[in-house]
Amino acid sequence: MKSMMTKIFTYSLMLVFCFLSTVSYAKKSIEHCETTQDTTSGLSSCLDVVKEAVDRELQTWINNQVFILEEFALATGRRAALDMFKRSQRNFITFRENDCRWQYLAISPGTGAASAYKKCYILASKSRIKELEVINP
């Protein structure tokens, strides 16, 4: 029972963190960075902030899904969905990395290569967040 209460408490904290993260993230976006930054280094730094915020939000959604699937596995004794979700998440990370790398390499050594990689990373991560939101709103 104590383990269950700890998980519920942790889950609640993650949701609060997600909300707070989303509020601060809302102030920064790719569009915001592009309109407010005049230099390549400024744009890159701004995109780093957005990328970190999106990563935190995505991790919260992943943790939420894992929690739900762990509870399902405990209740039913069936871990297949949990194992498959973890595999799909590893595959998503590999896909995102490779998809964004080719975009970086296509522009490299141009000055916009790093920004292209970061924009791709942010957009792919946001897309994954939307998928997870639909599964468990």
Kindly state the DSSP code that residue 1 receives in the 8-state scheme: -
Quote the pLDDT of residue 23: 42
Two structure tokens written together for 51: 């990328």
Q: How confident is the model at residue 21 (pLDDT cuts 50, 70, 90)?
A: very low
User: Which domains occur in the chain, in start order?
Assistant: 2-135 (1.20.1270.180)
Quote the pLDDT of residue 39: 93
pLDDT of 27 higher than 90: no
Residue-wise pLDDT for 63-112, tens only, equals 999 999 999 999 999 999 999 999 999 999 999 999 999 999 999 888 89
pLDDT of 16 higher than 60: no
pLDDT of 5 higher than 90: no
User: What is the rounded average pLDDT for all residues in the chain?
Assistant: 86
Round to whole Å and give the CA distance between 25 and 93: 21
Which uninterrupted H or E stretch holds 114?
helix 113-135
